[in-house]
Structure 1
Amino acid sequence: MAFLSFGSKRDKIKKMIEEEKFDEILKMAVKDKKALQALIELLDDSNPGIVGDALLLLSNVLEINPNSTRSHITPELFQKLMALMERKNPYVRENAMLLSYKIIKSFPEVASQHRDWIVEGVRRGLTEGNKDQKGFLLMVIGELGLKELRPMVEELVSVEDKVILPFEGKKWVPLGDIAKEVLEKLS
């Protein structure tokens, strides 16, 4: 008689990622909350390849079935994604940006529930982050209409440093151009 699994599926999902069984993982994570939770748990893995793949898979689950992910969107997940955006590994950093942006676009009501925390995190990132992080955070400001951060956006309008973001039309774009786009959205 087989034993029922009541624990985490983290190890199983990790093995499947290592075996590049991404389609199977997607099918499973869309239907199974434990598989989805396992992907979130893998964001703490020590292997950046596993973390980057888990982020990419979570983005795909969000696209396929946004409702399946709604209950997993927590302040803790946002904080984890913000921390992952600070990683040196570009695969992890860019996939964290992609997932964060998809969450914000898919669930603006959830983002607005956590507005105070998001504003504080964005403010800190605009002060301490590198140019790519600042470019991404500017996009978040525009998407969420964070008008209270307008003075910080205005400070970046003249910055000519080019950023590389994992978004269409946002590769090798001056940071100041992104800031100008955001100011138009905030008007």
Structure 2
Amino acid sequence: MTYEYIDRLLGQALLLGDHGTLARRLTELIDDYSSGDVPRATVMVMAAEEWRQAGQPARALELFRRAIDDGGDAGIDPRCGIADTLFELDRPGEAREIIAAVRAEGRVDPQSALYLAETLAAYGDLEAAHEWATEGVRLGPDDPGLRDALLRTRYRIRVDLGLGEDTIDAMLDS
């Protein structure tokens, strides 16, 4: 399986607005997975996200958990997706426990920090969202697009919190 193939599937789903079909196709690919340049856990996380978009959060949780069990590179920490899905299912206590576990390990990557910042902002915890966005920026992502996304998310959260600009916000201009 290649990234180009996955990109074609994603493009078709976006054009059709059919997340359910893409979720099923990605899940089939996982079940039939043999090899390729896309790690199996990454495909599991992609499928989980599509199941969420298709209104099937229980199936999403299952695939996020399978990605954890797989242990391969998933692009983000699959627990971030679990936390987001638990918030969606109105289980905020469980979601916060998972986020606390991620923080306690102290080895988050910038993409996961962005995911958690956006999740927490969406569910109204702007202070925690700001902490995660700041952490993501401080991790110094190599990808300029990810760095900019973190800076923009952090800035938006700061504005929503009514906080003034700081030295990290100045990085947006550079």
TM-score (norm 1): 0.45
| Greater Cα radius of gyration, structure 1 or 2 | 1
